[in-house]
Amino acid sequence: MQKQQKSRRVENLKVEAECAACILSRASAEATEATINPAFRFRAMNEILRLLHKEFKPTAVPADLGTKRDRIIKRVTSNDDPYMRRKRISNEKALKLLPHARKMVEEGYMQQDRFKRACLCAMVGNIMEFDIPGHKFTFNILRKSFREAAKDLAIDDINKIYEITKGARKILFLADNAGEIVFDTLLVEQLKNMDLTVTVAVKGAPVINDATLVDAEVSGMSKIADKII
C-alpha cells in the first residue's frame, strides 16, 4: 500500500505535455527581465530549447527542468537575480496594503478568528506570481481579494490547523515569495501571540521571485520572527 501511494506521488510530479509551453513561456519572460541584450536572450532560449530536447521526457520532473532553465538564464545573462525589480515592486506594493490587511485581521474578536484572517491574508499574498500562463495577476485585485478570500476557498482546513498549532511550541515557517512575505508577517504575529517560537526560512540565494533574507528584512519579518534562516 505504501509503495502504491509513493508511486502515485512520484507520478503526480512528472511532466505533462503542456509543461513544455509553460517552461518556455517563463523562460522568455525571465530572460527579458534578466537582460536588455537580445543576443543574450536568444542564446539563453537556444540553450533552454536544447535542454528540453535532451531532457523533456515522460519521466522528467517539472521543478528540476525549471531549476535548470533558471540556471541557464543566470549564467548566460550574468544576472544572478533576474526578478530583483519585480520583487522590489512586490514588497513596496504589499507594504502599502499591509495596514488594510492588518485592520482586517484585528477585526477578529477571538484569537482563532484573528488566526484565520491572518491565514487568509497570507493565502491572498500567494497569488503574487508572475509569468505563469493562465494566471493573470495585477496588484489592483489584492484589496478585493482580502475581503473575498474566505468564500473563495475550495477546501478550508484553517480551523484544523489552528487546533494543531495550539498544541505546538515551535513553528518552522517556510516563506514563499517576495511581496507575499509582507502579509506572512501578520500570520507570524498571530503565532507569536499564541506564545509560539517561530523560525522563518527563506531562500539562501535568489530563485525566481522567492523571498530571501533581503525580503525578510524589507518586510519587517526579521523583527517579528524569533529567527530567520
Tell me what the mean pLDDT of segment 84-101 comes to: 92
pTM score:
0.85
pLDDT of 139 above 90 = no
Q: CATH 1.10.8 region(s) of the chain?
A: 2-77
pLDDT of 131 above 70 = no
Pick the CATH number of 2-77 from 3.30.420, 1.10.3470, 1.10.8, 1.10.10: 1.10.8
Confidence of residue 151 (pLDDT cuts 50, 70, 90): confident
Extract the runs of DSSP E, i.e. beta strands, from 99-176. Answer: 170-174
The pLDDT, as a whole number, for residue 134 is 58
Of 1-10, 60-69, 147-156, 196-205, the least confident: 1-10
Give the integer Cα–Cα distance in Å for 138 and 134: 13
The pLDDT, as a whole number, for residue 130 is 64
Strands 227-228 and 197-201, by their bridges, are parallel
The pLDDT, as a whole number, for residue 7 is 47
Confidence of residue 137 (pLDDT cuts 50, 70, 90): low
Are 225 and 199 in contact, with CB atoms under 8 Å apart?
yes
Pick the CATH number of 86-228 from 3.40.50, 1.20.120, 3.40.630, 2.60.40: 3.40.50
Tell me what the mean pLDDT of segment 55-82 comes to: 95
Give the integer Cα–Cα distance in Å for 64 and 53: 15
The pLDDT, as a whole number, for residue 153 is 77
Q: How far is CA 199 from the centre of its chain?
A: 17
Q: CATH 3.40.50 region(s) of the chain?
A: 86-228
Tell me what the mean pLDDT of segment 62-76 comes to: 96
pLDDT of 184 above 60 = yes
Confidence of residue 174 (pLDDT cuts 50, 70, 90): very high
Q: How many CB atoms lie within 10 A of CB 162?
A: 17
Q: Looking at per-residue confidence, does 195 or 5 come out higher? A: 195
Give the integer Cα–Cα distance in Å for 109 and 42: 56
Tell me what the mean pLDDT of segment 122-128 comes to: 83
Give the integer Cα–Cα distance in Å for 171 and 69: 33
Beginning with the edge strand found earlier in the chain, give each strand of the sheet holding 170-174 in spatial order.
170-174, 197-201, 227-228
Point out which residues pair with 198 in neighbouring strands.
Answer: 171
Percent helix / strand / coil, the chain, rounded to 5: 65, 5, 30
The pLDDT, as a whole number, for residue 111 is 95
Nearest to 79, CA basis, from 229, 179, 205:
205
pLDDT of 132 above 80 = no
**How far is CA 55 from each of CA 8, 24, 78, 160, 168, rounded to the nearest angstrom?**
22, 14, 24, 41, 43
Q: Calculate Rg over the CA atoms of the chain.
A: 20
The pLDDT, as a whole number, for residue 147 is 74
pLDDT of 2 above 50 = no
